[in-house]
Structures are given as structure tokens and as C-alpha cells.
Amino acid sequence: MDKKVKYRKHKNKCEIFDWTDKEYIISRVQEEPQLDENKILKYLKSGNVFSGGLGIIHDVFDKDFDKYQEAYDAIFVLEKDGVYKEESKKYYKICEEIKIEKYTLGPNNFTDGEWCWDSVLIYYIENYHFRISDEFCLHIETKNWNCPQLSIKEIEKFCKRY
């Protein structure tokens, strides 16, 4: 039975998770590809983009992930009100000194009109055989492994529910 997938709160069914939750990501990684992994990837990659982001998503398996995340979290706490704090300098310096070796860009968010997922999910499946939820896998299979291509109006309709 599937471990409960940690979703962000959305009105739609989502396979979007907290990219900094190392324990959760490790729990979903396998040594071998999951059944039909290539078909799943083809489906995910052909999804309809409905929003995009520009940034670097640090891979939790990078050797400096924990150190980087600790400094990043400290900055977030110090500056949660949007004001730069003098004591943030040392944490920015730590982040700047860390050479991120494993990362992905994004995230871009995709949909098939019913479910949504992001480019980070694709990255973790390709690189670590991250296992998607059984429910999402069954949904993809019922679509015969072919992601429906939506019109602009259908994507707008989806976004209103998102």
C-alpha cells in the first residue's frame, strides 16, 4: 500500500511535494525503475504547462544540501517579514560559498486537466526512480499513457480551480 503522499494544498489532485523534505524524497526513491517508468515520464513531460518558475531547486542528494538548507531556512526565518536583517549576512555567505553540484531548474507546473505535477517530479524520477503515488499512476494508465493536450480555455479553466 502507498505511503500517504505529502501534497501541497490544492483544490486539484497534485503530485507536487515539498522539494526540501529530504526524508520524504528518500522514502519514495527506489533502486530500480517503477513499472512503466518510461511511459510515466513520457506522459509527465508532455503535460500542459500552466505556470513556471525561475530558480534553482537544490537536489536533496547533493553533498551540501543539509548545510545549504539550514542556512537558507535561517534567512527565511530572519527575513520572513520581507526586511533584510544584518545577521542574515553570515547565512547568505554560507549559501554563496556552497558549490551546488546537483540541481534542477524550475519549477514548471504541468497538468492534464485533472492532475498537476511539476518539473521537479520529472527530475527525481529520471535521476533516482522516485515512485509516484499508485493513484496517480493508475490515472496515467487510464489515459493510455498519453497526456491530453489542452486548449488555452481548458488550461484557464483548470487554473481557476488550482
What is the DSSP pairing of strand 13-15 with strand 115-118? Answer: parallel
| pLDDT, greater one: 128 or 90 | 128
Closest CA to 146 of 37, 52, 45: 45
Closest CA to 145 of 24, 19, 45, 2: 45
Cβ pair 43, 145 in contact under 8 A: yes
Q: Average the pLDDT over 3-28 and give the result.
A: 70
pLDDT band at residue 114, thresholds of 50, 70 and 90? very high
Its pTM surpasses 0.75: yes
User: What per-residue confidence (pLDDT) applies to 140?
Assistant: 97
Considering the chain, what percentage of its residues have pLDDT values greater than 90?
49
Distance separating alpha carbons of residues 41 and 63, to the nearest angstrom: 26
Least confident of 33-37, 99-103, 137-141, 152-156: 99-103
Closest CA to 117 of 4, 5, 24, 38: 5
pLDDT band at residue 5, thresholds of 50, 70 and 90? very low
pLDDT at residue 6 tops 70: no
